[in-house]
């Protein structure tokens, strides 16, 4: 984030080194919309500004002065977070590929998303990336846009790169590296317990987020009603059951997950970056682990009903998982898999 904003600031800086061309890939439209005003200002200074995102509608989502290229969610460019700025005497680039995993210590899903990336403020590196994107976008570019991009490239090739670029690049890398060292304290191996409101904030419902990027496994877990459990401890039975369940589910979810109590007998486990097969295996492990733990813990039920989904939708489809869980309880199905609807 810091590097992309630094490159955008460079594009906005006053300089007599034009013509300038800018290309930026945003993955999904909400991320582009969040930066709309910045790219409208960049477009006022650039000879051409091209932005791209999955599902983008040029009539609605295009920042003024830019050219918006809609991406197909299945193409490699849809996983890139990329910014390239190119002029005859300057170049800067960030190219990052979505790993579809998160940093376990992050406070929100968006803040924790991890990318494999590279960056540079060498003009010829920017030229290389600019040409790559020019080829990749190909016929989707309007003819006039493609011609302007080619004209910028021709002018860049007429002017030799600045000899001192390597010094500026080394300084930039040093500063960017130091800014990336500020990290939250290491988390323990268990998931963090959260209220429903904290889960909504963590999953991005109160900020900028987008469907179609990071997969999140959702496990709805329903246990027998508290009055059916052993009553050796009297009124403490339900509270001790909940504490034991949260601890067990937290161990299963791991450090990147979140566990919340939905109602008296229902829990929700959220784990980012988990595949569909792994999520189903984890759902099956809930009952295996419960059976083992219940032999030593009278407060734990021996079985539970689990509904499992892996989703890329935002906001998270919690009600879909709850409906599947109710169906599974009624039908006596121990593990129910929720099919993800739609193209996301």
Break the chain into its structural domains and give their ranges. 2-179, 192-337
CATH number of this structure's domain 192-337: 3.30.70.270
Average pLDDT across the chain, whole number: 88
Name, in order, each residue with C-beta under 8 angstroms of 176's C-beta and a sequence gap of 6 or more. 2, 3, 6, 119
156: nearest Cα among 83, 92, 93, 86: 86
CA distance 50 to 70: 11
Q: Indicate the pLDDT class of residue 246, thresholds 50, 70 and 90.
A: confident
- pLDDT on residue 295: 81
Taking only the tens place, the pLDDT of each residue in 225-241 is: 754 555 554 556 667 77
User: Which one is predicted more confidently, 168 or 215?
Assistant: 215
Q: Which class does domain 2-179 fall in?
A: alpha beta
* Pairing verdict, β 192-193 and 80-87: unpaired
Q: Which two tokens stand for residue 125?
A: 């590196």
Phi-psi region of 220 (alpha: psi -120 to 50; beta: other; left: phi over 0): beta
Taking only the tens place, the pLDDT of each residue in 120-166 is: 999 999 999 999 999 999 999 999 999 999 999 999 999 988 877 87
The reported pTM is 0.85
CA distance 155 to 19: 8
Taking only the tens place, the pLDDT of each residue in 68-86 is: 999 999 999 999 999 999 9
CA distance 135 to 276: 34
Name, in order, each residue with C-beta under 8 angstroms of 197's C-beta and a sequence gap of 6 or more. none
Q: What is the full DSSP assignment across 151-219? A: HHHHHHHHSPPPTTHHHHHHHHHHHHHHHTT--PPPP-SSPEE--HHHHHHHHTTTS---TTSS-EEEE
Decide: residue 99, CB within 10 A, 0-12 exposed, 13-18 middle, 19+ buried: middle
Question: Does residue 296 register a pLDDT over 90?
Answer: no
């Amino acid at each position: 984030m810091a590097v992309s904003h630094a490159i955008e600031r460079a594009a906005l800086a006053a300089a007599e080194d034009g013509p300038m061309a800018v290309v930026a890939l945003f993955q999904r439209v909400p991320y582009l919309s969040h930066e709309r005003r910045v790219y409208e200002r960049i477009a006022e200074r650039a000879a051409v500004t091209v932005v791209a995102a999955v599902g983008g509608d040029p009539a609605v989502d295009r920042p003024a002065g830019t050219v918006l290229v809609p991406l197909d969610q299945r193409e490699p460019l849809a996983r890139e977070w990329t910014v390239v700025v190119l002029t005859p005497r300057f170049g800067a680039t960030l190219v990052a590929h979505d790993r579809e995993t998160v940093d376990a210590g992050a406070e929100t899903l968006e803040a924790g998303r991890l990318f494999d990336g590279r960056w540079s403020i060498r003009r010829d590196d920017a030229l290389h990336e600019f040409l790559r994107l020019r080829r990749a976008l190909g016929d989707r570019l309007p003819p006039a846009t493609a011609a302007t991009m080619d004209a910028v490239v021709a002018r860049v090739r007429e002017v030799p790169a600045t000899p001192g670029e390597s010094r500026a690049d080394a300084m930039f890398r040093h500063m960017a590296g130091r800014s990336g060292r500020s990290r939250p304290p290491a988390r323990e191996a268990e998931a963090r317990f959260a209220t429903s409101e904290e889960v909504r904030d963590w999953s991005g419902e109160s900020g900028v987020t987008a469907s179609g990027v990071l997969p999140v496994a959702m496990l709805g877990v329903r246990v027998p009603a508290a009055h059916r459990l052993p009553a050796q401890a009297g009124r403490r039975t339900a509270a001790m059951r909940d504490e034991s369940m949260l601890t067990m589910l937290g161990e299963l979810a791991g450090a990147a997950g979140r566990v919340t109590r939905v109602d008296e007998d229902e829990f929700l486990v959220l784990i980012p970056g988990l595949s569909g097969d792994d999520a189903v295996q984890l759902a099956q492990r809930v009952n295996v682990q419960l059976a083992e733990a219940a032999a030593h813990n009278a407060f734990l039920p021996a079985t539970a009903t689990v509904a499992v989904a892996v989703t890329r939708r935002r906001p998270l489809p919690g009600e879909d998982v709850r409906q599947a869980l109710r169906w599974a309880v009624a039908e006596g199905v121990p593990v129910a898999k929720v099919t993800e609807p739609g193209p996301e």
